[in-house]
Amino acid sequence: MNDNERTGSLPQRIFENSIVLIIIVVVWLFVPLYTKNLFLPSLFSILESFRDLALNGELWLDIVYSLRIVFAGLLIAASVAVVLGMLLGRFARLERYLDPTLQIMRNTPVLAILPVFILFLGIGDSSKIAIVIWATFFPTLLNTIQGAKNVDANLIRSAQSMGISSGGLFFKVILPAASPFILAGFRLSAGVAMIVIVAAEMVGAQHGLGFMIFNYQHSYQTSRMYVGILTLAIIGVFLNFGLVKLEKHLTRWQEKTQ
């Protein structure tokens, strides 16, 4: 973005950012009233369904159910990935041992593993947490390895010259130096988590937004199906927005490149 584009006045920016969305909303509100296609109901009836599902509590239950698994899986995966990534990034020997295995695991399509988890863990929470852990592990892991490898050797030398212990070096130098990579990886992981949880709930579940979409599609209650889809879109946008904000705050010490 160059300076000219950035100096647009606030009302102009709001207009530029919202006009396309507004057109889509208007089209979606009115065009289906004429096409009368069951598969694409008007936003009016979707909003009605949204109100119904919100009032009878079903929507909130499904949201909580899905997000609980997403966060549990993400947190477990990220903690392990950060620790392992730091070690793999700093100890080339360890990486040589584990890299082939990790490459195979990472390149196996996530959903191909799902049936295995279901066999072992059933269709309850545990198989879903397991698949979220599996899927979200790799983006954070790979970024952490990258970050830990790229630490400026001068910073390490400088800390070592002050007699820092190897534990201190990890926590006070390598971890903070790698943190921009780690946070970017975590944001990728969060995106993957949302994809995977929906897919997993479609395959086998009794609750959750993925199940809800799948279920209403089967019973042709399409406006309720769209409620699920739009809810996921909104959650995705907020999640990403929050993580970007967090990332910006935690890496505010970096020179802004623009």
Partner 1 sequence: MAADTNVVEISTAGLGLVYRKRQSARRGGDIYFPALKEVDLEVGKGEFLSLVGPSGCGKSTFLYILAGLHKQTSGAAYIGGEEITGPSLNRGIIMQAYALFPWRTIQKNVEFGLEVKGVPKPERQRIAREYIELVGLQEFADHFPYELSGGMKQRIAIARALAYDPDVLLMDEPFAAVDEQTRGFLHEELLRIWERTQKTIIFVTHSIDEAVLLSDRVAVMTPSPGTIRKIVDIPLPRPRTNALVNTEEFRKARNKVWQLLQTAGTATKEVKKEDGRVVLDTVLQEEVVF
With respect to partner 1, which residue has the nearer C-beta, 173 or 196? 173
How would you label 75-99 residue by residue, b for 16+ Cβ within 10 Å and e otherwise? Answer: ebbbeebbebbbbbbbeeeeeeeee
With respect to partner 1, which residue has the nearer C-beta, 115 or 168? 168
Residue from 146, 144, 140, 168 nearest 156 by CA: 168
Interface positions with partner 1 (CB under 8 A): 152, 154-155, 157-164, 168, 172-173, 176-177, 179, 251-255
Min dist CB 175 to partner 1, Å, is 10
With respect to partner 1, which residue has the nearer C-beta, 36 or 157? 157
Min dist CB 215 to partner 1, Å, is 47
Q: With the CA atoms of 194, 25, 224 and 68 taken in that order, what torsion angle do they form, in degrees rounded to the nearest 10?
A: 20
Residue from 119, 131, 171 nearest 148 by CA: 171
List the alpha helices (DSSP H) in 122-221. 125-149, 153-161, 166-169, 175-203, 209-218
Min dist CB 150 to partner 1, Å, is 13
With respect to partner 1, which residue has the nearer C-beta, 49 or 179? 179
With respect to partner 1, which residue has the nearer C-beta, 160 or 240? 160
Min dist CB 172 to partner 1, Å, is 8
Min dist CB 183 to partner 1, Å, is 12
